Amino acid sequence: MYPDVLQMHTFYRSPLGQYCEAVLAERVLDEWDEGQPLRLGGLGYTSPILQHWSDQTAVRMNLMPVPMGVMAWPEDADNKSLLVDEIALPLPDESLDRLVLSHCLEHVHGPRRLLREAWRLLAPEGKLIIVVPNRRSLWALSDKTPFGHGRPFSRGQLAHLLEECQFDVLAWAGALYGLPRPGSAGLSSWMETWGRRVWPGWPGVWLVEARKRVGAPIQGLPARAKRRYVAGLSPATSVATRTSSSYDRTKSP
C-alpha cells in the first residue's frame, strides 16, 4: 500500500524529513552531477530529490502513482507532476536519460512490471537510481517514517531483481544511518558520517545505480496496454516545459 501524498508532504517538512531529504539528494547528486543536460524524471514521491537540481528545466516529469495521489510541483513554476499508472506510464519509448525511483518500488504489487516499464522509458545506456528501505535496518521496522511501510529489500534481492529486468548494477550506496525517530535529526549529521565508516552494511536505505542493458530483448513482457502519451514528448524532444498545459494543476496544502 502506498502512503498518502499528504502524509509524505507533512513528513518531508518535519526536521527528520528535512534530514532525509538533504542526505538522499546529496547522494543522488553525487552520482549524477555530470555537467551535461539530461532528460530527467522521477517516479514515486521524488520531489524532495528532484528539487535539488540547480537547473530544474532538466526535470521533465515528476510521476506520482494513482494510489499515492498527486501534488503540484514545483510550487513556483509550471507544474511537472502527473498522476500515473506506474506500470503503464504515459511516455514514449526512450524519452528519458535518467530516472529516479523513490517511495515506489517497495509499494508496487508488480515490481518486475514496474522495472520493465522503466527500462522502456530510458534511452539506450540510460541510468536509473532506486531508493528503497534496507530490510536489515531500523528504518524498515519503524512505521514513524515512510520508509517503514511497504516491502523492504536486501541488497541481494534488489540486485537479482534488476538483473532479471535487464539492468546492470553500476554502484551501491547507503544512506540514513541516523535513528528513525523524531528528535534525532540533530544527531544525524555525525551519525551519517560515522555510520558509513563503522557499519556500511546497515544503512536505513539502499541507493543503487543501474544502467539499461541493450542488445537483448526483455522476455515475457505482457501485451502493452493502450496508453495516451503526454503531448509534445518524444525521444528527440529536448527538455519539456509544457506539461502544465495538458494537466490540471493541483494545489499544495
Q: Average of pLDDT values for 188-213?
A: 84
Give residue 233's pLDDT. Answer: 56
pLDDT higher at 61 or 101: 101
Which domains can be identified in the chain, with CATH numbers? 5-245 (3.40.50.150)
Residue with cell 523492504: 152
Residue 204 pLDDT > 80, yes or no?
A: yes
What stretches of the chain show up as alpha helix (H) in DSSP? 5-12, 15-32, 47-50, 111-121, 155-164, 188-198
Residue 123 pLDDT > 80, yes or no?
A: yes
State the pairing for strand pair 96-102/122-133. Answer: parallel
CA distances from 113 to 102, 125, 196, 239 (A): 16, 19, 33, 27
Task: Place 27 in a pLDDT band, splitting at 50, 70 and 90.
Answer: confident
Give residue 242's pLDDT. Answer: 35
Q: Residue 102: beta bridge partners?
A: 44, 131
Residue 170 pLDDT > 80, yes or no?
A: yes
Residue 169 pLDDT > 50, yes or no?
A: yes
Would you state the cell numbers that stand for residue 34, as one nine-digit string?
Answer: 555530470
pLDDT higher at 197 or 245: 197
Q: Which of 141, 112, 132 is nearest to 175 (CA)?
A: 132
Task: Place 237 in a pLDDT band, splitting at 50, 70 and 90.
Answer: very low
What mean pLDDT is reported for the chain? 82
CA 183 to chain centre: 26
Task: Place 236 in a pLDDT band, splitting at 50, 70 and 90.
Answer: very low
Q: Is residue 247 left, alpha or beta, with left meaning phi > 0 and alpha meaning psi from -120 to 50?
A: beta
